[in-house]
């Protein structure tokens, strides 16, 4: 073998080793983004993060409903749907940083991630109880959850050096008119009656800025008054086609189920008028079913009755009130 071949083989070997090393470094960085520790987030102004924008139906691109309201080092979650810890990771929010959960109602889509957030956050060294505030029935939900996980949770606490306070929940049931202030931000609850179970909308005010988050369209008149002049209204918008349209398309579906779905949620045709009546400056649409394929289609429909800014955030997107 002559010297030229030796040099060629040597060069090829060096290139191969360099490519291998580069791949290892790239893979390590990728894994770090997926599972590595995240730095505590700090928000200089009142901010909203659309942590999870999906509905109660499975959708890997839009996880269950969860909206973060953040300022300074404070992060409060309104609702905790399916996959909430993965959604927090995607939003670059440490899973142990949210200090409080506010529930809009006790439909499963709003609470499926509560146990996930509690125990995964505990593994990430949460050392204070998680506060959970919601409508009547919230205490029974929390008590049942803690009872269901008591054996496994106690075993985990014995096996690992975890704070006993980090797996606890401080629960509080509230109604219309509840208010609390946390470092310059006032939190208010507004009752939305007339639905299948007790429901609340939540309003956050800091200086001249405000955000209102609602989980349902029950009691639209009450929501309009509660959300009056807000800078940002975060609300669901659902398109449930009429049974006759489904039948004409050749799709087999239970007409009564479609009618019931429509009654349970706020339709995409009505949300614009609601936001207009409330004089909301911006409208962020979440919990959409079906998920939006083209934003311009949704905006065209809602824009027929609403002249403000229409937002269709993706999971993890940060919004400015």
Please give the C-alpha separations between residue 207 and each of 113, 178, 184, 225, in angstroms, as whole numbers: 32, 19, 8, 19
**What is the spatial distance between Cα 133 and Cα 187, in angstroms, rounded to a whole number?**
11
Token pair for 227 = 């959300």
> What's the confidence (pLDDT) of residue 6?
62
Residue with tokens 């079906």: 290
Given this model, what pLDDT does residue 31 score?
47
Q: For position 248, what pLDDT does the model report?
A: 66
User: Whole-angstrom Cα distance, residue 224 to residue 265?
Assistant: 16
Q: How far apart are CA 229 and CA 60, in angstroms?
A: 34
Q: Which DSSP symbol is given to 267?
A: B
For residue 256, what pLDDT is reported? 77
Q: What is the pLDDT along the chain (321 residues), one digit of tens a residue?
A: 566 666 676 666 667 676 765 665 555 444 455 667 899 999 999 999 999 999 988 999 999 999 999 999 999 999 999 999 999 999 999 999 999 999 999 999 999 999 999 999 999 999 999 999 999 999 999 999 999 999 999 999 999 999 999 999 999 999 999 999 999 999 999 999 988 899 999 999 999 999 999 988 789 999 999 999 999 999 998 877 666 766 666 666 677 777 777 788 898 999 999 999 999 999 999 998 777 767 888 999 999 999 999 999 999 999 999
Is 0.95 surpassed by the pTM of this model?
no
User: Which CATH number is associated with domain 44-104+175-319?
Assistant: 3.60.15.10
Please give the Cα distance from 287 to 290 (Å, whole number).
Answer: 9
pLDDT at 14: 66
Q: CB–CB of 56/109 below 8 Å?
A: yes
Q: Are 67 and 234 in contact (CB under 8 A)?
A: yes
pLDDT on residue 32:
52
Residue 117 DSSP label:
H
């Amino acid at each position: 073998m002559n010297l030229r071949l030796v040099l060629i083989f040597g060069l090829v070997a060096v290139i191969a080793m360099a490519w291998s090393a580069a791949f290892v470094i790239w893979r390590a960085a990728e894994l770090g983004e997926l599972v590595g520790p995240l730095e505590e987030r700090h928000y200089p102004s009142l901010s909203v993060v659309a942590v999870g924008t999906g509905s109660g139906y499975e959708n890997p691109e839009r996880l269950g409903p969860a909206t973060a309201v953040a300022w300074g080092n404070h992060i409060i979650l309104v609702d905790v749907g399916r996959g909430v810890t993965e959604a927090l990771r995607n939003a670059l929010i440490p899973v142990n940083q949210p200090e409080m959960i506010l529930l809009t109602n006790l439909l499963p889509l709003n609470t499926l991630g509560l146990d996930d957030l509690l125990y995964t956050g505990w593994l990430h060294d949460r050392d204070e109880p998680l506060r959970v505030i919601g409508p009547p029935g919230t205490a029974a939900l929390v008590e049942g959850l803690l009872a269901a996980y008591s054996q496994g949770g106690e075993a985990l606490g014995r096996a690992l050096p975890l704070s006993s306070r980090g797996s606890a929940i401080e629960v509080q049931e509230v109604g219309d008119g509840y208010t609390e202030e946390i470092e310059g931000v006032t939190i208010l609850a507004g009752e939305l009656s007339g639905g299948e179970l007790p429901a609340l909308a939540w309003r956050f005010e800091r200086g001249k800025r405000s955000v209102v988050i609602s989980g349902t369209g029950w009691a639209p008149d009450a929501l309009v008054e509660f959300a009056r002049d807000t800078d940002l209204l975060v609300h669901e918008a659902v398109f449930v086609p009429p049974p006759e349209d489904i039948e004409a398309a050749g799709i087999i579906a239970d007409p009564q189920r479609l009618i019931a779905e429509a009654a349970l949620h706020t339709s995409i045709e009505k949300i614009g008028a609601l936001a207009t009546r409330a004089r909301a400056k911006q409208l962020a649409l979440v919990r959409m079913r079906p998920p939006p394929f083209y934003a311009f289609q949704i905006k065209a429909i809602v824009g027929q009755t609403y002249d403000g800014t229409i937002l269709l955030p993706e999971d993890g997107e940060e919004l400015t009130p």
